[in-house]
Chain A
């Protein structure tokens, strides 16, 4: 809690900078609006206040985003297509389903890789290399391919979410399963433990810290995947679709609201994983 004050200060500074930037960026637009309305008698405070409350500003003020968020989350019926709850739930479903699939596949592959020596040598370089490739570029194509198989709705987006979370989880879990001290592995050998026993009693528990670290990365990646997939196939809704719709119609406030909703969703998911991780590690006897 020692850092509460510094964090608060930084947040306040960001908000202040945001207001200044918004006023500076919107003022020219607002001046044009005054000119169009034939108003010349405005004072500088008028200009600033009006710049911060435009309907389609270049950069909406923070309060406008908050108001829009409040309106779209609490004041709109949750099942209406304008509600962010409606779109947020779509994105959340895709993210969670995709994340679970990606995590299961990633952990499975990691188990196989650490158990089969030749697979590790032949596959690992590719999986590591895949980290340097912008795999998100594949997202639009996967949506279309799945569409050919009549897979529509949230499934294609969940697939992309799964696919984006899969690689970091695999890499992290391979590292995790390999993290035990060689001395401990030798100890298991002196107990004449089978490979399965070594895995269950040593490698799996030892991977816990990297497990939760890669789950966090995977959850964040899954959400990015879901949002980008929604951009490429936007008729089914979701926060990504709101981003795209906002950018089509110049609804800047709506873009920012969708962006903040996505950020909140992501932070909540990652926070949840982190919480489960902390509880588990404490149960396992870690001393924080």
Chain B
């Protein structure tokens, strides 16, 4: 069970004062003063509108923001009850900010939220990012209702995103998670989740909160743990996901290490499960699905291909420890191509990803180094994908991603064999 010291005595007193809750909505934050007011407002309205009879708490788990995040949460006004209710009084919704402790990172914020939900004995716990601009009260309903109605233990988000966005999800995390664990969770690192009481307690009971999961990778960890734990999983269609622009100088290599590093660590943890899984099955989606118009994005594939070529030119000594010679020759050949001829096809990409997983399993080098060394390959794949889908509509892009997933599933036999042999 979780260490109760995760929460400060003052917070424990506050929770004791509240006693018990049915729903806890957690909002992890760091420097989100610009957007968190809207998120709190949407959560508050959603809880009041869809769960007026239930006892609800909104908990902001803050990582020491120096802006006005906590003040915005405290002052985020109520809602116009006449807009959302025909009748019925509303139960008061408790709302407060808790600074989280432990290792700095989103995982520690989640731990604080889960611990509070556990103490409050909440039936359902939803977590939403503090930088969301497109969140509506319906999101809370969609994330929480399947849990309250006891039809699911874990609700993953399902968004419409621009066809060029979410490339780590589309090209790596979704295909590999689906192929490994057999569940088609389209946004396994979405950032918004609904979790049942049983699953919250399961999460808290696992000895990961002092590891890297506490820092990063908590999204994929939660999804994978829910699937591997045999919990009922569903997806909630939330429409478009729009959020504050990430820092343009953000370290993409670091992000890749966070996500892929956790995926590969989980492959070690759940080896006995994914080795037995063949194929994949759909995961039910709740919510009315509709088309979403998204602003066009201008993409610079030239920059990505240059990055790929630099990798081919300079990283050969490292890639040789990961990939077989024919694969390396294909990569070198690709570096000479341009335009539509620059194509990292699905079979090659699935093979590269699996080879990287096996190399991490063999520990031929530090995991973070191997993943960072794979960044040029990822950039090449993204450039190739962007070139390929430049004129495609949303449905065609989904069909394209489906073909990629099938390639990952088809090559799983090779992965099993190489993993067992310790060969690349």
Query: Are A and B subunits of one complex?
Result: no
* B contact residues vs A (CB 8 Å cutoff): none
* A contact residues vs B (CB 8 Å cutoff): none
